[in-house]
Homo-oligomer: A and B are copies of this chain.
């Protein structure tokens, strides 16, 4: 249950305070050019400590490929990648050892497993998402060969919404803001919350260009369902929307339907997916992140023996997890699209015959 994907499948391991995190990426076609520098550059985009808008905690996040690549090409065998934890110093955990942190998974892990790994987020820490980004980088290399590209950016922070979606601007923004005009206001909101020992939520918007029509496996591995699974599984995500999803629920059919002309669709309310299958238009998705639960205000909570305490967390945490989270959204999206590309091969007999004859 620590694996994701069908034909392109990755399995991750590791805890925030253990020796290492990493993953095995299985199903990468042989002969793909594996550019290690590119993988590292993707990890660097997610890496903490780059600015005042992120946690001050530093992790080198240097990835090492252990297998599956020979002479800079994938061999078809599993690609194992490991990232050693350099910042897992034996710090003092007495503050949180027996106390459940509100909004965290330590409460639920304890009830599920009966084990208390008190060293921090453990397996549920967003640190694990570094492994997803490494795997996603390889998926992106594969997509690039097919002229498919995944973009993302922050469309909303603390309720401050973007009016435009400029993915090139997002690439240059330290908070991946899609709208340069509201970026400063968004930054101010983050810092205000941070200074008040609080945190803010945000929304990531994901765009995929170049996806051919026909990807997605109905009825229970639909493109939109699997994207929803992938996004909702990212730490702190609480809602996922395809195309104009939420707005659609208050629209009329005649407004929401995307009419068709010989040159393509006249609009894209559907977000590029019909009946769970890509329609050839851009795939568009919004991913809603709750505010970081790790705040430094005093809160009501209980201990592992259910005694009530008032508790104020110490340490370093992102004031807005959506920022680094958007890089994870991109990675997971790339992995889903790449998996769907592989799964789609064999959908019809003419394709099978052409492949083998």
Contacts and interface: CB of A to CB of B under 8 A. Distances in A.
A301 B260 CA distance: 4
A73 B350 CA distance: 13
Interface stretch (A19-27, A36-44, A52-60, A169-177): A19-27
A29 B114 CA distance: 10
Copies of this protein, total: 4
A356 interface: yes
A13 to B, nearest CB: 4
Q: Which of A20, A291, A351 has the most CB of B within 10 A?
A: A291
A168 interface: no
B75 A117 contact: yes
A355 interface: yes
Nearest to A123: B77
Interface in A185-208: 193, 198-203
Contacts of A4: 220
Contacts of A19: 64-67
Contacts of A113: 30-31, 75-76, 347-348
Given A280-B111, A302-B261, A103 B270 contact: yes
A295 interface: yes
A67 to B, nearest CB: 4
Interface in A1-52: 1-4, 7, 9, 11-15, 18-22, 24, 26-27, 29-32
Given A26-B1, A30-B347, A228-B240, A248 B300 contact: no
A294 to B, nearest CB: 8
Contacts of A109: 76, 218, 275, 277
25 contacts: A1-B219, A3-B26, A11-B26, A13-B78, A27-B346, A30-B349, A66-B82, A75-B113, A76-B347, A77-B122, A105-B218, A109-B218, A145-B349, A146-B353, A193-B253, A225-B233, A227-B232, A228-B228, A228-B240, A229-B229, A238-B242, A238-B245, A238-B270, A249-B289, A253-B293
Given A70-B117, A108-B213, 20 more contacts: A1-B343, A7-B343, A11-B26, A14-B66, A24-B24, A31-B115, A75-B122, A103-B258, A107-B213, A109-B218, A111-B280, A112-B215, A113-B348, A123-B219, A227-B232, A239-B246, A245-B288, A251-B290, A253-B294, A261-B302
